């Protein structure tokens, strides 16, 4: 598969989706997400900020120990396209180092803050071996403060559900109560519909041959 663009959805015939959570880890909301996925024996991908790992390393360790994926969301969450290439490289490298301290291994996924990318940033991420990930439910806008409401988040995520979808939610910075309740409801619905909850890397591994080779 190409690493030269953001991956929003993975072509697969399987009923599998990837939930991702940005801006953590957080001692309240990340713990709640872990409990939601524990109940359905599912896995998620946590796009963590290096500075937050520095603050709440014990939570990051819990995420990893539970079998979830930790992806790089930079060290301090800047718009990488507004930095020099070396500044952007340092942001990605510092985030990568914090994740390796927790997991003991490199991560395969990267989400650029604000989805702000250009060819240089995508190439830089590819140098690290990353798949740069987007999402299908950006219109849910769960990152807004105050949050747009549980029903709003659900409505604008349900419309994007299909096998191979990558969903974006947030477990860090600000009040994430609406997000947690929306995720709880959505996970319950999708589990009842027969969906599996996998990490982004696992989802990419399900990609059809045409996606891998394009």
The catalytic residue among 22, 23, 96, 171 is: 22
End-to-end CA distance of the chain: 6
Quick one: which of 162, 176, 168 has its CA closest to 139? 168
CB 20 within 8 A of CB 111: yes
Active site residue 156: no
The catalytic residue among 26, 68, 170, 178 is: 170
List all residues 6 or more positions away from 130 whose beta carbon is below 8 Å from its beta carbon.
Answer: 3, 72, 107, 108, 109, 110
Active site residue 77: no
CB 183 within 8 A of CB 176: no
Half-sphere exposure (CA, 13 Å, Cβ side) for 97? 9
CB 186 within 8 A of CB 157: yes
- The residues carrying an active-site annotation are 22, 170
């Amino acid at each position: 598969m190409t690493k030269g663009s953001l991956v929003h959805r993975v072509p697969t015939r399987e009923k599998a989706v990837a939930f991702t959570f940005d801006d953590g880890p957080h001692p309240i909301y990340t713990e709640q997400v872990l409990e939601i996925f524990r109940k359905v024996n599912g896995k998620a991908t946590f796009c963590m900020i290096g500075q937050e790992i520095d603050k709440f390393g014990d939570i990051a360790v819990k995420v990893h120990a539970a079998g979830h994926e930790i992806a790089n969301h930079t060290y301090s969450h800047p718009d990488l396209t507004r930095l020099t290439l070396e500044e952007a490289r340092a942001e990605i490298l510092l985030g990568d180092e914090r994740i390796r301290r927790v997991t003991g291994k490199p991560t395969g996924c990267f989400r650029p803050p604000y989805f702000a990318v250009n060819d240089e940033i995508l190439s830089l991420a590819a140098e690290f071996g990353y798949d740069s990930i987007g999402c299908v439910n950006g219109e849910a806008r769960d990152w807004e403060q105050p949050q747009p409401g549980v029903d709003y988040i659900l409505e604008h995520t349900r419309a994007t559900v299909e096998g191979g979808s990558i969903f974006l939610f947030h477990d860090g910075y600000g009040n994430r109560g609406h997000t947690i309740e929306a995720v709880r409801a959505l996970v319950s619905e999708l589990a009842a519909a027969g969906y599996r909850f996998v990490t982004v890397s696992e989802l990419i591994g399900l990609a059809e041959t045409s996606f891998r080779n394009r």
